[in-house]
Structure 1
Amino acid sequence: MKKSELASVVYERLSKVHPDAHCELNHSNPFELLVATILSAQCTDARVNMVTPALFKKYPTPEKMAKAKLEDMEEAIKSINFFRNKSKSLIGCAQDLVALHKGAVPKTVEELSELPGVGRKTANVVLGNAFNINTGIVVDTHVKRTAGLLGLTKETEPEKVEQDLMKLFPNEQWTMLSHLLIFLGRRTCIARRPQCDLCNLKDVCASTGKSLKAPKKASRGTK
């Protein structure tokens, strides 16, 4: 099967089994999504979602967050990985939003990437989920792993994986594709215990069952 055909099958089947696929970072506006995405770097969505309700209540707008004291921000997000660096990023990001964008979250990768704590991945998350603008494909650990296992890419660097996937899937599918592959990775193709027998892609997956094969134990001779 050609990669283009595989891509079509993957998207169609995952859409059927995961019609509810979505961004699992809780948010109610673009600013909240931007903050949550910055916090999610090397941290689980579940942990971020535990922290953000109180954080958003205390700092509901860029204007409020821009005036936050560093020690107060650190206290508010101290259960998040790398909370000290992320505290600086959040305050700096909010300050730039106020100073450069009148408190609004910009709608281009270039403008977003200039904000503290924001890279291409974060920009893609915000643009795709807050504004329905498909500028790229979010490649996290789940997307990188499942795309590789399925045979959609042989690359291991997120940027190169993204480029491969962008060539295979139409622009309008880019944001949803990330959600579908993330749902696949979290619910079926689980890293340490993949459930290949339950996967509706097992007949087209390049790696079906391979990760389940346990290494043979060396036989012990008898005397």
Structure 2
Amino acid sequence: MTLVRLDAVTKDVVLPDDTRLEILRGIDLEVAAGDHVSIVGRSGSGKSTLLNLLGMLDAPTSGTVSFLGDPVGRMRRGALDRLRGKNVGFVFQQFNLLAGRTATENVEMPLSYARGTMFWSRRRLAHEMLDRVGLSHRLDSTPEQLSGGEQQRVAIARALVRRPSLILADEPTGALDVETGEAVMTLLDDIAAEAQAALVTITHDVHVAARARRHFRLEEGRLEPVRLDLAFRETALGSVTGTAS
């Protein structure tokens, strides 16, 4: 079953001098339930822009984004917000945790917009998810009291607490050391597999990308499937520095 589909999607922005910058050019992509996709590319190649389109945070300049077969461009803002909130979980590179709020309060946040049992059980569900990511001893800790790896696990718990069908991870190990990053990716893979959720990871780290089943490279606004073999490791990314965009 196809969860999200992009057909001939483009994304342009107008610069201060009124010139138009093409970020994405004719992107076609399907992501099915239970799929694991990695998208690699140099900094500034448009990876985060593509992730925002997949997550329905942004609209394409042209082309169609569909979720479960329905074009999202035709939806009203409220309906789109509810669809995204229920079905999409975001794991950001910079964590985006609320300062001064406990781990429990951060994970509860997406459930504040839920209805019925999920809303009234939000504290219990947050505790269960924090326990699942190994932070049952950190329920009342604020981000300032947590290590980078612990903050990332809180961010993962927040992304998954509503059991989304699509998980989008933007450089999820970019701010972590190698060992912690490996543990975070294993955790993300395991939880996604348990829920049969689709996982899309954008990264410039080929070791993270290699964990996926399908691999794509974004270059000059175009998305192409690649084989993540030795030749790709040596030539596809080149020297990558900075933060993905």
Q: Please, what TM-score do these two structures have when normalized by structure 1?
A: 0.27
Q: Please, what TM-score do these two structures have when normalized by structure 2?
A: 0.25
More helix by percentage: 1
Higher Cα radius of gyration: 1
